[in-house]
Amino acid sequence: MLREIEIKRNEIITLLKTLKKLEFYYQKNFNEISVKELFNLVRTIRILTKYVEEINTVIETTQSIIKEYDNKRIEICLKYCKKDQDGNPIIVNNNYTIDDTEKVDFDNEIKQLTSQYQNNLNDYKIKLKELQELLNEKIIIRVPLLSINILPNNQDKEKRFYLDTNELSVLDILIEES
């Protein structure tokens, strides 16, 4: 039986990860689930995967807008950053550490690059906003209900299976109590 559910697109990603975790568990513990329950689980994963693929396409398109700019920005950072004794860049709080003696030249090259790619950066900001709106958009999808029996009877860390409270709560939208 299919149920219409209202869900934000970004919640679909979390839901899909949790369902795939269950699927992985049942691949190793096939005797703990009925064929019907497994079928509904796989079917739900297939439906949700289509929505996540749509989101990934938008993300890739958004990232492609600034890819060239970002590669050149990283080249400039590598050119002016401090390096350790092995020649690797020193990164603190996800930022390259720029040598104080090189700061003015670094800033000038970054300003030049930013100016050169200003249209791309503006487009990126617009696409990023659209992406955020897309992820927060509530949509209605039709998915199979999953039996409460889909949840393992006990969480077994020895079998390397555990659902945290967030994962359990995200499943709630799909669970049908028998």
- Asked if 157 and 22 count as a contact pair (C-beta separation under 8 A), the reply is no
> What is the rounded CA–CA span in Å between residue 169 and residue 163?
10
Instruction: Average the pLDDT over 111-121 and give the result.
Output: 97
Q: How many CB atoms lie within 10 A of CB 15?
A: 23
- Under 8 Å CB-to-CB from 177, ≥6 apart: which residues? 148
**Over the range 82-110, which residues count as b (16 or more CB within 10 Å of their CB) and which as e?**
eeeeeeeeeeeeeebebeeeeeeebeebb
pTM > 0.85: yes or no: no
Mean model confidence pLDDT for the chain:
90
> What is the rounded CA–CA span in Å between residue 103 and residue 61?
33
Q: What does the pLDDT look like over 157-178, one tens digit per residue? A: 566 677 888 888 888 888 887 6
Q: What is the pLDDT at residue 158? A: 60
Q: What does the pLDDT look like over 28-76, one tens digit per residue? A: 888 888 888 889 999 999 999 999 999 999 999 999 999 999 999 999 9
